[in-house]
Amino acid sequence: MFWRLFLTYLMLVVATVVLMGLLTFRRAEDVFYGLAHEVAAAIGVVLLAAIGAAYFLARWFARPLVELQEGARKLADGDLGHTIRVRGGTEHAELAETFNAMSGRLAATFRLLEHDREQLREILSGMVEGVIAIDDKRRVLFANDRAGLLLEFDPRKAVNEQLCNVTRLAPFHAVVEKGLAAAESHREEFDVPGPVPRYLAVYVSRFTGHGMPGAVVVIDDTTDVKQAERMRQDFVANASHELKTPLAVIKSNVEALIDGAAEDPEACATFLDQVARESDRLADLIKDMLSLSRIESGSLMLEPRAVALGKSITDCVERHHARAETKTLTMVEKPPTDVSPDVPVWADPDALRQVMDNLVDNAIKYTPNGGRITVRWGANADTVSFEVEDTGVGIPEADVNRVFERFYRVDKARDRAQGSTGLGLSIVKHLVQAMRGQVRVSSKLGKGTTFRVTLPRAGSA
């Protein structure tokens, strides 16, 4: 810029001097020849002065433009917000101010875009669904952490990698290809085999904007939904079966009475006894189902408060003492020697009573005549606990972890004969968890079972 201006000014001065010299030469040729040396010296001085003037003018005019050019280059290199300061005329100052305003607006725009991009990244990273954006070459443009967790890859290393190199899950790639080939969005579910089977739902939607080939892939883990649906189906099937059995017995006995058994006092008494027993069983089953339903739905409102654990256990033992004596069972209570019987547990009184009654009732049912049931309890700074130990038939090791499942029975025939609904221990587990406690079981087949319940101590809850 500078040298172009310099040569331009210099050529203008030289052209002016030459033109004036030619005109002078034509008008005073004789005089000019006489003054040749003086004219040549004057021309030399003028040329030197012209060169200096041209240099100064070119430098004065080019400096603001060079500063503007340097500022524009920094702006193009990403130095947004760079301020250009020039020394020159009004035009240069106005041009610099225009560049500075443009630089400020660009900086603000890019900051807003960066903020929006980070916000979008945070939103996508916080989603419970996995999100992957790919281009038309199946290269990964973006992947959130949830997608990496579901498909087992590192999202930070996946960008610009081929999708087939990121995850080898064949059903997933099949769904993506279907989605890319389809005109509309495509959704499909598939299962992922393994030690713990998983179920994934994949939603593929192609980018609709012009010049944006590719698609966004959303992955949702539906394992919990599938398990909940299977549990619901199992619950309905088991409940239907459990309700059907006592109803069938009641119906058959009533039919027998209608057919003439009512005329025989002894037979009539037997059939009516069976009807009464199955009716009680049916009522217990319905009551337990309703109770479990309220607990699981959260509609059962517990009101925890400080409850004296020792007194609650004593009352429970007294309530079941008569039944234990009927089976010649020895039921004993073993309070700790170093803890006051008034130690408070933070629990709902009715829920605590139901938990204790269910555990003691189970111990009485599954302990043979002449056996022993021991209820002991203790406390520490933060929790209190009690145990119900029996010398009953015990639970096989393979079934220990499943005894808290709804309608699960170790021995279905024996449990039905004992009048079990199959819901008692499930109710115990849910009530204890609702009171922020834990319940554990240990058992040895043929030697007995121990249930241990731990609850918060009042004042530490």
Residue-level pLDDT, tens digit, the chain, 461 residues:
455 555 665 666 666 666 556 555 555 555 555 555 665 666 666 666 666 666 666 666 666 666 677 777 776 666 666 676 666 566 666 777 777 777 777 777 777 777 666 766 666 666 778 888 888 888 988 888 888 888 888 888 888 888 888 888 888 889 888 888 887 888 988 888 877 788 899 999 888 765 567 888 899 888 888 877 776 776 677 667 667 777 888 888 888 888 887 777 888 888 888 888 878 778 777 776 777 677 766 667 788 889 888 888 899 989 888 888 888 999 988 887 777 767 888 998 888 988 998 899 888 888 888 899 999 988 888 888 999 999 888 888 877 888 887 766 655 444 444 445 567 788 888 889 888 999 999 988 888 899 999 999 887 55
CB 257 within 8 A of CB 268: yes
- Check if CATH label 2.30.30.90 holds for domain 305-456: no
CB 372 within 8 A of CB 330: yes
DSSP state of 340: -
Distance of CA 368 to the CA centre of its chain: 49
Q: How many CB atoms lie within 10 A of CB 271?
A: 21
How far apart CA 218 and CA 405 sit, in angstroms, is 34
Domain locations along the chain: 2-108, 127-221, 231-297, 305-456
Question: Given its phi and psi angles, is residue 31 left (phi above 0), alpha (psi -120 to 50 degrees) or beta?
Answer: alpha
pLDDT for the residue 310: 87
Tokens 């001065």 sit at which residue? Answer: 13
pLDDT for the residue 438: 92
How far apart CA 443 and CA 367 sit, in angstroms, is 13
pLDDT for the residue 135: 86
Structure tokens at 334: 């073993």
How far apart CA 306 and CA 444 sit, in angstroms, is 35
Q: How many CB atoms lie within 10 A of CB 105?
A: 12
pLDDT for the residue 425: 84
CB 397 within 8 A of CB 445: yes
Q: Which helix (H) or strand (E) holds 219?
A: strand 215-221
Nearest Cα to Cα of residue 161 among 130, 138, 177: 138
- Count of alpha carbons within 13 Å of 188, Cβ hemisphere only? 14
pLDDT for the residue 455: 92
Q: Give just the sign of the alpha carbon dihedral 140, 143, 146, 149.
A: positive
Superfamily of domain 127-221: PAS domain (3.30.450.20)
Distance of CA 25 to the CA centre of its chain: 96
All residues at 6 or more sequence positions from 370 whose CB lies less than 8 Å from its CB, including other chains: 328, 329
pLDDT for the residue 267: 81
Adjacent-strand bridge partners of 438? 454
The dotted CATH code for 231-297 is: 1.10.287.130
Q: Considering all CA atoms of the chain, what is the largest pairwise distance in Å, rounded to the nearest integer? A: 170
pLDDT for the residue 234: 67
Structure tokens at 426: 């499930």
The dihedrals phi and psi of 168, each to the nearest 5 degrees, come to -100, 15
All residues at 6 or more sequence positions from 17 whose CB lies less than 8 Å from its CB, including other chains: 43, 46, 47, 50
CB 346 within 8 A of CB 302: no
Q: Which helix (H) or strand (E) holds 454?
A: strand 448-456
pLDDT for the residue 121: 67
